[in-house]
Structure 1
Amino acid sequence: MENATAPDSQTLPHRLNLLQGTALNMIDMVGIGPFVVLPLVIQTIGGPEFIYAWVLGALISFIDAFVWAELGAAFPQAGGSYNFLKIAYGEKRWGRLFSFLFVWQTLIQAPLVVASGSIGFAQYASYLFPLDDWQRRLVSGGVVIVIVLLLYRRIETIGRISLLLWACVLTTMGWIIVGGLSNATRPVLEVVQAAGPVTTGLFGAGLGAASVKTIYCYLGYYNVCHLGSEIQNPKRNIPISMFISIVGIAALYLLMNVSVVSVIPWQEVQQSKFIVSTFVERLYGPEAAQMATWLVLVVAFSSLFAVLLGYSRVPYAAAADGQFFSVFARLHPTRHFPHRSLLFLGALAFVFSLLFRLSDVITAILAMRIVVQFIGQAVGLLILHRNRPRSSFPFRMPLYPLPVVLAIIIWAFIFVSTGWSFMLSGLTVTTLGIVAFLILARVKRQWPF
């Protein structure tokens, strides 16, 4: 770690408008997630109540978005949570530790997020082409390489690409929803009523564990915060883009689930590895199923595009701030984007995509991030409200501080729901980060030494 700000680190240009920021959020949120998670959620709950897991995921995202909206509008900078944590806890003391831990975790969990999408991509590709285990790994690694090559360009070009990929996302989801609702073998109302009322027994049946998987499908509603310094009129557009994204994606997810189960019984859905392909094949035949599978792959590819774009700004922001290796603070000399950060995270994502399985990655991603990022940010916002005037927050959530308190409680519940092994792995990564921070602080004679 070099305590220097790169001399050639320039200000990132404000070139992404509201539509482009919302598109990047939504394609980040969808990805391969709902197409591979839908059967897993049903397996976890073991009944038609699975729909509540998707509702709970949307509710958690919406509540947490109030925290992100206040922070993102007040501090629209590259790096998102890195800056939020540093400012909230104090830039010279505890804020240094929390922001360091966020970057530390990002170096591990961001490539894991990209790897999860590329592994899911390869899984669905197996419907089209018979692939053995190593061939699937090579496909997932190849997808990461292509994503890096596409992102190696100016941000305004990326904004235009995002709109095209967004159209593919909406087309795929729309086809599934319209096809299911117009060809339902069971009345849609019957599917919804089968879920029954919410009871305490439902939580015992696995609603918390199932919600861990659905939240994975909603993650990304805050992607625009990582691009804060590149968003036009960020005080207005950052909050609006997040809430539009959550409401829109929640509606698409719920309609997609109801559509699928209205055609294929949930007992059969939970056994399918290619539920979208099976669904379309049931309705329109194998040729249409192949076309649907291609669209799913495009959606997965689109999400990886948005994910790696957002996370590549985090090490850049930390390095430009003098709290990370100065090599990451350098922007491309002609295209003006953090190319070294992009290449580093892309390389790790490539390695992870060859090593890990999708089922192990999804829960670990969430368990690793909850304590420092989600709970840490919410507590940090409470501290900021205590120390700063109201005018410091261009966006103010209704009923403050109730949404913040609810966010902290819910995230704690989700963290426990990941299970002891994943909780332990997340806390271990955090502990190692604290040790690394203390060692570096000792060498550089900085706080707390």
Structure 2
Amino acid sequence: MSSPPQPGLERKIGPLQATAINMTQMCGIGPFVTIPAMVATLGGPQAVFGWLIGAIIALADGLIWAELGAALPGAGGTYVYLREAFGSRTGRLMPFLFAWSAVLFIPLIMSTGIIGLVQYLGYLIPGVADEGGTTGLGKVIGLGVIVLVVLAAFRRIGEIGKLTTVLFAIMLFAALSVIVAPFTRFDGAQAFAFTPGAFSFGGGAFWAGLGAGLIIAIYDYLGYNTSAYLGGEVRDPGRTLPRSIIFSILGITSLYFLLQLGVLGSIPLEELKSATSVASTVLEQAWGTGAAKVITVFIVIAAIGSLFTLTAVINAAVTVLVLVQSLAQVAAIVVLRRRRPELDRPYRQWLYPIPTIIALLGWVYIYFSATWLSIGLSVGWIALGVAAFLTYAKAERVWPFGPKGIQESFAGAAEGNGK
């Protein structure tokens, strides 16, 4: 049996819609923009292995989300998990810090999607983007897209689920088109022409760029947890959430690998590193300008779908997310297993604690691979968040200046999952 919905929420999202929501958020415009950056960062065709290592980290983290989401299927995702895991010790501090960090990383991630969308619009509409970036017209269009997404978000969850399924189909069509197109003129020797010495542990291009490459990969995989944020609106969350998370990661990993391989085998390396609308270029070379423009329209629509939830911006977004969400949830799954053994867990993490340890090591490596500016921004933002919380706590006379004032909403098996 599934847990009762939270007041005002309807459990309208089924397994197919939940998986579609995740995959649409994951793919969107991301890989179409970042494939050239991935190749440049890892120094050549060996970039395909960057996607695979990123997928391993994403899957390990996804198994954390799967257990937490199945056991605590409430609207809010990480906010709920941190509240339930740490509320008895630190009151509202941890969920407050997550909400505080979301104020920064959600707009940053959204802005990368807008940047990518405008880049591809530049292929269709002259004057939207140029070599220097987004033009005035492009900025106006980007603002209009944001307004459109915000308005769409106010629709009923059942309607949003149907809309997301349509956007998922559009995204899948666009991605499969960009996968098929390059294989019509695929050069295997070019695709697998790994840089000499790239894998040398003495400073090969692959290892030198792996950390920065994983930041890009993880950014592109982000979204596999979207259904968990909608836990209060998912049917049978104990089964639906784990499956939607795992299936979406495996599905998108396959798409990304084939996308990267196809692009490598159809565009010369030096041309690829500087490409701004790589998918459109691949399509034009294979099927002509007309087909490229039509499918680019679908790519732009898919980008809008991914917002419905550049490198410097990605760095900043990922470091803040890792510090307060990813590492905190690694701790949360351990704390809840020890402190709340009675909590009903329809799904328990496979091979625990191995995936949790892999996720922890992966997130730490990614965090310290970011730029010092991004690390400083993340630490500074959290410090400001702590100061803001203490100001609020003192005014409201809650912990540490009063009682913790927070109760566990998932007190046991009966309440947690309706059993």
Q: With the length of structure 2 as denominator, give the TM-score of the two structures.
A: 0.89
Q: Deviations over 1:243-288 (max 9, x none)?
A: 1000000000000111111111222211111111111111122112
Structure-to-structure mapping, 1:3-18, within 5 angstroms: 10-18=7-15
Tell me how far apart the structure 1 counterparts of residues 311 and 357 of structure 2 sit (CA, whole Å): 31
Give the equivalent residue in structure 2 for 1:191: 191
Structure 1 residue 31, shift from structure 2 partner:
1.3
Q: How many residues align?
A: 387
| SS, match of residue 394 in structure 1 | coil
Aligned-partner Cα distance in 2 for 1:127–1:179: 18
Say whether the 8 Å CA contact 1:70–1:395 is kept in structure 2. yes
- Cα RMSD of the aligned pairs, angstroms, is 1.7
> Contact 2:35–2:260 at 8 Å: present in 1 too?
yes
Q: Which residue does 2:411 correspond to in 1?
A: none
Question: Per the alignment, in what secondary structure is the counterpart of residue 92 of structure 2?
Answer: helix
How is 1:370-389 mapped onto 2 (pairs within 5 angstroms)?
370-389=322-341
Match of residue 161 from structure 1 = 163
Equivalent in the alignment of 1:320: none
Q: Provide structure 1 residue ranges, at least 5 long, that are not aligned to the other structure.
A: 1-8, 308-357
Matches within 5 A, 1:284-299: 284-299=287-302
Alignment of 1:397-408 (within 5 A): 397-408=349-360
8 Å contact kept, 2:22–2:224:
yes
Looking at structure 2, the residues matched to 193 and 389 of structure 1 have their Cα atoms a distance apart, in angstroms, of: 52
Which deviates more from structure 2 when the two are superposed, residues 220-229 or residues 277-286? 277-286
Partners of 2:118 and 2:142 within 8 A in 1:
yes
In structure 2, the partner of 1:142 is 144
Match of 2:268 among 259, 265, 286: 265
Structure-2 change in CA distance of 1:195 and 1:229 (3 Å)? farther
* Separation in 2, partners of 1:270, 1:38: 9
Runs of 4+ in 1 over 4 A off after TM superposition: 195-199
Q: Which amino acid aligns with 2:319?
A: A
AA partner of residue 219 (structure 2): Y
Residue number in structure 1 paired with 2:175: 173
SS of match in other structure, 1:170: helix
Shift of 1:195: 7.0
Distance in 2 between the 1:213 and 1:223 partners?
A: 19
Structure 2: state its 5+ residue gaps: 1-5, 129-134, 402-419
TM-score by length of 1: 0.83
| One-letter amino acid of the counterpart of residue 377, structure 1 | Q
More helix by share: 1
Kindly provide the amino acid, as one letter, of the partner of residue 15 in structure 1. Answer: K
**Separation in 2, partners of 1:152, 1:444:** 31
1:426-445 counterparts in 2 under 5 A? 426-445=378-397
Aligned-partner Cα distance in 1 for 2:346–2:149: 35
In the alignment, the residues of structure 1 paired with residue 193 and residue 269 of structure 2 have an alpha-carbon distance, to the nearest angstrom, of 14
**CA offsets per residue over residues 274-332 of structure 1, 9 Å max, x none?**
11111111112211221121111011011112x1xxxxxxxxxxxxxxxxxxxxxxxxx
SS of 2:265's equivalent? helix
1:38 maps to which residue? 35
Query: How far apart, in 2, do the equivalents of 1:418 and 1:75 lie?
Result: 32
Give the drift of 1:187.
2.4
SS of 1:13 mapped into structure 2:
coil
Is residue 109 of structure 1 aligned with residue 105 of structure 2? yes
Distance 1:400 1:192 in 2: 36
Deviation of the 1:95 alpha carbon: 4.9
Amino acid at match of 2:153: L
